[in-house]
Structure 1
Amino acid sequence: MKFLRFHKGFFAVMLVLFVIEVLIALYVRDQLIRPFLGNVIVVWFVYYFIRSFKIIKPIYIAIFTLLFSFAVEMGQYFKLIEILGLQEYKWARIVIGTSFSWWDMLCYFVGFLLLFVFDKHLRKNH
């Protein structure tokens, strides 16, 4: 049974989402897009990254993505970046994050729900 494959379409979606995330991180300094939409999009980014390589039911990938997002946020709550000694590295602060927020958790959940709107494979019963 095959578990890995490369899907160019999902990878292309993931690359577009990555570029959007980078542009938001570099150039957007507002109170809506950066803190909220960026967190919604990151769920999609992780989902399509995994879909690019793994042959698993989309619902399992979506659930994993949501739980992974929650775990990263909980790592922020428990100051994981300091525990790992990475607080001096900008890349680590960006990837891991530095501050817990219930709003971020809500954004991850909204991103998870919106996957059902955008990814028709999640709506299929297979």
Structure 2
Amino acid sequence: MLYFNRKYFFLALILFSIEIVIAVFFRDKFVRYFLGDLLVVIFLHCFIMSWLKLESTKVALSVLTFSFVIEILQYFKILNALGWENNKIAIIILGNSFDAMDLVAYTAGIAIVLWLENRKKVSIS
């Protein structure tokens, strides 16, 4: 179950680097918020797949579920409830504002993952 996959790890590093570039240099709503959220679920999928030998579809759906849970917690202002509304690390990790478009971005990112993983399986067999 625990192993190291260089290809997924390399992809995760690239995606993480892109996320940093977006966070530092982009301020427009599409790239920073939509594209950044789309890429973060792909990053999470690749990062998990680089360390654990699991079925890709299950990982993808788990990442999507996790992302939705975080977004729903934002809707209910979880940081305020925990007294962490001024904690910069908590804000970076959990976010602090609900946006339904984030759910669309997460779904689109996981759809891309599922499509690419399915193409990979088809080309191998």
Query: Which residue in 1 is equivalent to 2:81?
Result: 83
**Structure 2 SS opposite 1:29:** coil
The correspondence for 1:109, drawn from 103, 107, 110, is 107
Identity rate of aligned residues, in percent? 35
Runs of 5+ in structure 2 lacking a partner?
none
Deviation for aligned residue 1:64: 0.3
Gaps of 5+ in 1: none
Find the residue that maps to 1:88 and give its secondary structure: coil
Question: What is the identity, as a one-letter code, of the residue corresponding to 2:110?
Answer: F
Give the ranges of 4+ consecutive aligned residues of structure 1 lying more than 4 Å apart after TM superposition: 121-124
User: Is 1:71 matched with 2:62?
Assistant: no
The 3 A distance-change label for structure 1 pair 35 and 123 is farther
Alpha carbon RMSD of aligned pairs, Å? 1.8
Instruction: Indicate the structure with greater helix content.
Output: 2
Aligned to 1:44: 42
TM-score (norm 2): 0.89
Give 1:1-126 correspondences, 5 Å limit. Answer: 3-119=1-117, 120-121=119-120
TM-score by length of 1: 0.89
Aligned partner of 2:14: which letter?
V
Report the count of equivalent residues: 123
